[in-house]
Amino acid sequence: MAKSEHIHGIHAVESWLTRSPERVRQLWLQEGREDARLQALAAGAEQAGVKPQRVPRATLDRLVPESRHQGVVAEVLPLPPGDEAGLQDLTEGLGPQALLLVLDGVQDPHNLGACLRSADAAGADAVILPRDKSAGLTPVARKVASGAAEALPVFAVTNLARVLKRLKAAGFWLYGAAGEAEQSLYEQRLEGRIAWVLGAEGKGLRRLTREHCDVLVRIPMGGTVESLNVSVATGVVLFETRRQRLATRAC
């Protein structure tokens, strides 16, 4: 039987109630909070067939210690990330402008959640993670993702190098982001099937991952810092891809 988790935060819980209400086992709302956002969430829960319970704030604090729950906690049965077979099925059905995000060992769940949020906003088709030495879809990652963790297909794979080879065979052009790369992001024509590959906090892309990339590019920096947080870099490269594609359609 799947193990339940406690998720928290208004956006994260709203996403579950909208997309997978049948997997919401219990919902707790903070007593005494009658603000519009919590009232709307309670009404949405009732419509989805989930009856919320009003409890003291201390109860919510115990359910999700060291987290800012925003007055709402839910017990859910999360679906596990997809595997390599599911990823192959997905990529076979994607069109010529498919866009993927590959995260090579991002270990901070806050960064992972922010990357998922940016990927969903930029219209990415899926996110790929290594199964080991990488942050998983924890409650913290789901909260930071603000619903993107439920909206966007996420795949945890055992052999990232093998997956990158398969993506290339499926017609994807692999772009790796690296601060020391000679080519600038803004010099690239981002056309066709693309998979953006970004590395872990601090260390960046691993050697074997780098070797599988077709092109390494840097984000030009205008200040004194040498690099961007991985979630910020993810947003920059994905939205530059989106910008170029929208400009092409407008021509």
**Known binding site: residues?**
199, 219, 228
Long-range residue pairs from 65-68, CB within 8 A, at least 24 positions apart, any chain: 67/8, 67/139, 67/140, 67/143, 68/8, 68/9
Residue 198: Cβ-neighbour burial (10 angstroms; 0-12, 13-18, 19+): buried
CA 181/CA 228 separation, integer angstroms: 14
Q: Is the dihedral of CA 98, 99, 104, 108 positive or negative?
A: negative
The answer to whether the beta carbons of residues 78 and 23 sit under 8 Å apart is: yes
Supply the DSSP symbol for 147: T
The torsion of the CA quartet 227, 229, 235, 237, rounded to 10 degrees, works out to 30
Q: Which residues are annotated as part of the binding site for S-adenosyl-L-methionine?
A: 199, 219, 228
φ/ψ (deg, to 5) at 228: -105, 155
SS3 (DSSP) at 79: coil
